[in-house]
Chains A and B, each alone.
Chain A
Amino acid sequence: DAGVIQSPRHEVTEMGQEVTLRCKPISGHNSLFWYRQTMMRGLELLIYFNNNVPIDDSGMPEDRFSAKMPNASFSTLKIQPSEPRDSAVYFCASSSERDGYNEQFFGPGTRLTVL
């Protein structure tokens, strides 16, 4: 099993540009999460999907952020327009109900730098 796959691993862009982060969850997992991590705010949950449907997007910072999950094997997190304060490591995680609990498997993250 390849685990959760994220791309790109690193992204450097200029303020105002559109940024798209991609995630492929573990096959068979029905829950997907996007997190953001910064030194100041730690690890924050942005949005949670269950069976491809967004369940809780209360962590999405503002309208510049959007996330989609068109099918069970792919999700995107888009920032448009990007700002320097969006610089962070973005993690995708997936999970599947098993034996009454859920272990979240995290991807390697995408390090985003907005200049």
Chain B
Amino acid sequence: DAKTTQPPSMDCAEGRAANLPCNHSTISGNEYVYWYRQIHSQGPQYIIHGLKNNETNEMASLIITEDRKSSTLILPHATLRDTAVYYCIVRSPRETSYDKVIFGPGTSLSVIP
């Protein structure tokens, strides 16, 4: 039971911003939103996470709506190397549950030259 809904696939032109949506309408107040990605033939890679505030790091930005029912991962200037499957995951904080991470089918992002 993945708790999140993502579009199965998206395209993005190289150099443009990639905006990947995720719906998590049943998220609880103490649950975090995490994003991972998996480049072909590699293991998943952590990107970013957040609770209710927008977050930014060297890889991406995470925008969470005020009601927390959805979020958007933004890759500001997509490159061909960003072609991957992106997973949006809802997790409880470690102090209330263990590390269980449930991966859904994710969004397959294709960055086009």
**Residues in chain A within 8 A of chain B (CB atoms):** 4, 31, 33, 35, 42-45, 48, 50, 55-56, 91, 93, 95, 97, 100-109
Contacts and interface: CB of A to CB of B under 8 A. Distances in A.
Interface of B: 32, 36, 38, 41-46, 49, 87, 93-94, 98-105
B43 A109 contact: yes
A57 B43 CA distance: 21
A44 B98 CA distance: 16
B94 A106 contact: no
Contacts of A56: 98, 100
**What are the nearest 6 A-B pairs in CB distance?**
A106-B43, A43-B103, A103-B46, A91-B43, A106-B44, A102-B99
Given A101-B94, A104-B46, A31 B103 contact: no
A97 B94 contact: yes
Contact of B101 (A45, A105, A108): A45
Nearest to B49: A101
Contacts of B105: 42
